[in-house]
Amino acid sequence: MESQVLAYDYPLLGAFWTVLWIFLWVLWFMLLFRIIVDIFRDDSMSGWGKAGWLILVLIIPFLGVLIYVIARGKSMGRREIEQAREQRAMMDDYIRETAGPRSHVDELDRLSKLKASGDITPAEFEQAKAKLLQ
């Protein structure tokens, strides 16, 4: 007769260690991918600098990630905050554009900016303003 391996043959502590190791591997890959994205997102770094960091992180992963976090960790956070602010501003602009009709004040402001930039002539500005105020 064949012996069966049952679930209770795997000790609880072994299951805990397995879950812990899986969690740590997932955490490691999240950190690695986040650093790789940050390397490519940084506009202040040259192409050679990006290539150097990428090679270091990919060839010697644990040491490369540790060095990167120590050397560029603060600026990594600043870039993340900056990107979040840019995304928020873009979302706010999109909401304003699609929210509905603009008020007369917004339209007049837009027309005055167009006139100041030279995109429309003063005559066109006056014509659009008169049409708007009717």
Per-residue pLDDT of the chain (134 residues; tens, 9 = 90+): 667 666 566 777 888 889 999 999 999 999 999 999 999 998 889 999 999 999 999 999 999 999 999 999 889 989 999 999 999 999 988 888 787 666 777 888 888 898 898 888 889 888 888 888 87
What does the H/E/C string look like for the chain? Answer: CCCCCCHHHCCHHHHHHHHHHHHHHHHHHHHHHHHHHHHHHCCCCCHHHHHHHHHHHHHCHHHHHHHHHHHHHHHHHHHHHHHHHHHHHHHHHHHHHHCCCCCHHHHHHHHHHHHHHCCCCHHHHHHHHHHHHC
Q: What is the pTM of this model?
A: 0.59
